Structure 1
Amino acid sequence: MPRTSPNQPSTSFWQPLSLVLLCLGAFIVLLPLLVVFLTSFAPKGANLTGSIFPANPTPVNYQEAWGRGNFLLAFANSTLVAIAVTAFQIITSAIAGYALARLNFRGRPAILLIVLATLVIPFQLLVIPIFLVLTWGHLLNTYWALILPTAANGFGIFLLRQFFLTIPVELEEAAAIDGANRLQILWRVMLPLSRPALVTLFLFTFLAEWNDLFKPLVFTTRPELRTVQLALAEFQEQFTNNWPLLMAAVVIATLPVVFLFLLGQRQFIRGIATTGMKN
């Protein structure tokens, strides 16, 4: 059995210490969320400067926030936009990522560098050209104004390209011998094996679109196109001093994405861990 040298601390010391540090970090991260959740149950006019636990908890804030904020329409709009953008990004990222991972063509390294360069360009710098294009195409104040500007993303292309590189080429060669073309290989071989990366891209994209306030604020003015974040911002302007009601609205807007992440967390962690940096 391996022996621990006198100058080397045993693992029995580091494991409990690591556990304590992880628990402390989790507590620091989750404490604000706990405060928001508990405050949402506080009655109107309650003193919030004392204990974080409300004296007389009540769920009435959720009923009032749901009705006054018209979150049903906002949820429908955000879900439609997030799913559409996610579907477009998965399609474009899969095709472009596979081409950059497997096809040999002139200029492939340059194209990959351009894709990576887009990751450092803030979306706010592109808002004026995008606004002009949407105006030219008569797409302002439509769902397409919220979908098309982020239908493709350099992060998704790079993520799937890196994951495709980890898949053995022999699987593709066997499919090619059976008569499959490139698109069939991508659809029937590569994508089924890339489920962790696809789930990771789905979660990243869906969460980003669900939490996006900039696009609805700039590209839309019609009330029927309000998304969750825009509805939450307008709700905050109306009820600035009613903290329990505001916290209830925040919890309502947050619960769907928390539930979605909990459903896909295993695939998400696996996708991040197995997406190597192979060239």
Structure 2
Amino acid sequence: MTKPSLISQNSNLYVLGILLFLMVMIMLPLVVVLFTSLTLPGTASNFTSKSVWTLSNYHDAWERGKFLLAFGNSTLVALAVTALQIVTSALAGYALARLKFRGRQALLLIVLATLVIPFQLLVIPIFLVLKWGHLINTYGALILPTAVNGFGIFLLRQYFQGVPVELEEAAALDGANRLQILLKIMLPLSRPALVTLFLFTFIGEWNDLFKPLVFTTRPELRTVQLALAEFQEQFTNNWSLMMAAVTIATVPVVVLFLIGQRQFIRGIAATGIKN
């Protein structure tokens, strides 16, 4: 009995060591970015001297990069896209999970097929559609192209299939229709999946550079990532300012993830592959 327990302990130590090593490798670049953002320009390599530490880089980066407008635009676009994706994914996911109709499996395969098509391949037809609708250089050009997402539909469909059908049948006996069942039963029970979709969508939109770069040219529609790209072009040699700007652009999504990480993990764990 002693020998197997020692082997088990050793294997646990090896796993712990590997995980710690991977954690250090992942966190090291983030630590370098943070420390560099707190140093005076030209002293980024000297972390040990107390005289090089300063918070002024954040103020300078915020003012020079004009991040206030960019933060407002990114927040508006990310929240709008997230809200639309939750609505469309909930409706489509519920239909694919519960409604019986001809071609349901074929439709699900089409939804899954959209996940392997890069957005860049669709940029020309999307641009033409937006131009036809006079949406270029508007918020619509940043919101509508990603208002529906196959991943969100599949995620909620999988989660809805894990909800007992008996709950819906009981609600139907009480006179609830499909929409009421979705709003009052399915969605409240699907909170982890909704939080997961919210985090994926919001973070993806916040970090998106492609749409603002292609579909807009007006400075007042500039998002955080576009502002960050322009900032890096202006201050290529000022590493302290650049890292401060990167930290400013990263903090909101990190805080958002830390707030919702428990629901995020539950949502991922609960949405397995179901027929």
TM-score normalized by the length of structure 1 = 0.95
Is the counterpart of residue 23 in structure 1 residue 20 in structure 2?
yes
User: 1:54 and 1:177 mapped to 2: Cα distance?
Assistant: 71
Between stretches 11-20 and 119-128, larger displacement belongs to 11-20
TM-score normalized by the length of structure 2 = 0.97
Whichever structure has more helix as a proportion of its residues is 2
Which blocks of at least 5 consecutive residues in structure 1 are unaligned?
A: none
Is the counterpart of residue 120 in structure 1 residue 116 in structure 2?
yes
Q: CA, structure 1 residues 242+54, in 2 after alignment: closer, same or farther (shift >3 Å)?
A: farther
Question: Match for 1:226: what amino acid?
Answer: R
User: 2:120 and 2:109 mapped to 1: Cα distance?
Assistant: 21
Which residue of the other structure, out of 214, 220, 225, is the alignment partner of 2:221?
225
Which residue of the other structure, out of 123, 144, 147, is the alignment partner of 2:143?
147
Q: What are the residue-to-residue correspondences of 1:88-167 with 2, within 5 Å?
A: 88-167=84-163
Report if the CA contact (8 A) 1:101-1:162 is conserved: yes
Which residue of the other structure, out of 66, 71, 78, is the alignment partner of 1:75?
71
Counting aligned pairs with the same residue, the percent is: 72
2:52 alignment partner, SS class: coil
Question: Match for 2:138: what amino acid?
Answer: T
1:262 alignment partner, SS class: helix
Which residue of the other structure, out of 59, 63, 66, is the alignment partner of 1:63?
59
Number of residue pairs aligned between Structure 1 and Structure 2: 275
Q: What are the residue-to-residue correspondences of 1:233-252 with 2, within 5 Å?
A: 233-252=229-248
Is the counterpart of residue 172 in structure 1 residue 168 in structure 2?
yes
Is the counterpart of residue 13 in structure 1 residue 15 in structure 2?
no
Report if the CA contact (8 A) 1:160-1:197 is conserved: yes
- 2:179 corresponds in structure 1 to 183
User: 2:174 and 2:19 mapped to 1: Cα distance?
Assistant: 50
User: 1:230 and 1:208 mapped to 2: Cα distance?
Assistant: 14
User: 2:49 and 2:243 mapped to 1: Cα distance?
Assistant: 14
Question: Match for 1:251: what amino acid?
Answer: T
Q: What are the residue-to-residue correspondences of 1:46-61 with 2, within 5 Å?
A: 46=43, 48=45, 51=47, 56-61=52-57
Q: CA, structure 1 residues 246+52, in 2 after alignment: closer, same or farther (shift >3 Å)?
A: farther
User: Cα RMSD (Å) of the superposition?
Assistant: 1.5
Which blocks of at least 5 consecutive residues in structure 2 are unaligned?
A: none
User: 2:196 and 2:49 mapped to 1: Cα distance?
Assistant: 36
Which residue of the other structure, out of 37, 40, 45, is the alignment partner of 2:34?
37
